[in-house]
Amino acid sequence: MTIGDVIKKYRKNLGITQEEMAARLGVTAPAVNKWEKGSTLPDVALLAPIARLLGITTDELLSFRDELTDEEINRYLKQVQKDLESKDFHDVFCSVKEKIEEYPNCEKLIWQAAVILDAGRMAAELPDKDDYDSAIFGWYERCLLSGDERIRNQAADSLFHAYFRKEDYEKAARYLDYFSLENPERKRKEALVNSRTGKRAEAYRAYEELIFIGYQHLQMTLNDLRALYMEDGDHEMARKLVEVSSSAASVFEMGGYNEVCYGLEVAAWEKNTEWTAQIMREILDRIDTISDFTKSRLYQHMTFKTTDPDFTAGLKQKLLESLGDETFDYMQGNEDWEKLSHKNVNAMRIINR
């Protein structure tokens, strides 16, 4: 914006005429008129008084700023949301458009303003809501070029859902490239598109993979959190997280082995002989269920490798050998532990004959 444009805009915002402005500054009305038309520029000595009169800084008067602070953006957008509740949508839209023209490089303002207006036109159920597509989608497209990954992703997300709502699935799918291949949101959106374009099997499989991978990430997070509580000596929370892990294994139908295995580390840490023996017994009894998740209908569209019986036998052998590890020194001489060891060693000998 030129200095004349800035003067005109803020003068009108204040509701004063060129004559009133001229009188307060001690100049003529034609002088103000020439400033606003861009025919002449104000004298340097008048810049500070003009800025004070308009309630802006000299930087704003001279259009030095391309960015707004986060505080200024948040304050402005709160006002936009209030205006949408009480004013005509088109009037608010035009006001926001002017703001964006004033700060064309302020990506955060452009992105968030586009989101608010996009939601506002939907909430208002405007009969001509599609007339605003060009401007709002254009703002999103500008944000796709941002150096800020978060803004790029949010803009791509908004464009994906906008075209998805319009049932233009081909265009919606184009914006998936803005998400990394590792981002679960990309897979979820691909599944959405597949579910609407006749690729039902692919959609089912993608959703099931998301559930399966999500479960694995959840358990890794719970394990790490449990280890942190153990380092800090918090027995109550360590046991609580064992319960959560076991419940999650049950809910996600991961099989009996996975429902009981998570407490062994905590039992050993506490040197709780009764609990350790109980958990180890349950683990050994359920070793054959370690791959039961492959039979769950939750994952019926996924393909799993067949579990090698030798793998299960090898795992059981390692568990039996661990009964004599230093980790379980506190269990030596425990009657239940000894019975557990003898029972399963004999069973393995029979199997291996």
Count of beta carbons in the 10 Å neighbourhood of residue 36:
19
The Cα 158–Cα 180 span in angstroms is 16
Which residue type is seen at 69? T
Average confidence (pLDDT) over 91-104: 90
- By residue count, the chain amounts to 353
**pTM for this structure?**
0.72
pLDDT averaged over the chain? 90
| pLDDT of 153 strictly over 90 | yes
- The band of 176, judged by pLDDT with boundaries at 50, 70 and 90, is very high
**Which tens digit of pLDDT belongs to each residue from 68-90?**
788 999 999 999 999 999 999 99
Superfamily grouping for domain 70-201 = Tetratricopeptide repeat domain (1.25.40.10)
Q: What is the per-residue burial (b if ≥16 Cβ within 10 Å, else e) of 282-307? A: bbbebbbbbbbbeeeebbebbeeeee
**Which tens digit of pLDDT belongs to each residue from 23-32?**
999 999 999 9
Domain ranges of the chain: 3-61, 70-201, 205-352
The Cα 139–Cα 329 span in angstroms is 66
| pLDDT of 353 strictly over 80 | no
- Topology of 3-61 in CATH? 434 Repressor (Amino-terminal Domain) (1.10.260)
Give the residue, 3 or 190, on which the prediction is more confident: 190
**Which tens digit of pLDDT belongs to each residue from 231-248?**
999 999 999 999 999 999
| pLDDT of 292 strictly over 70 | yes
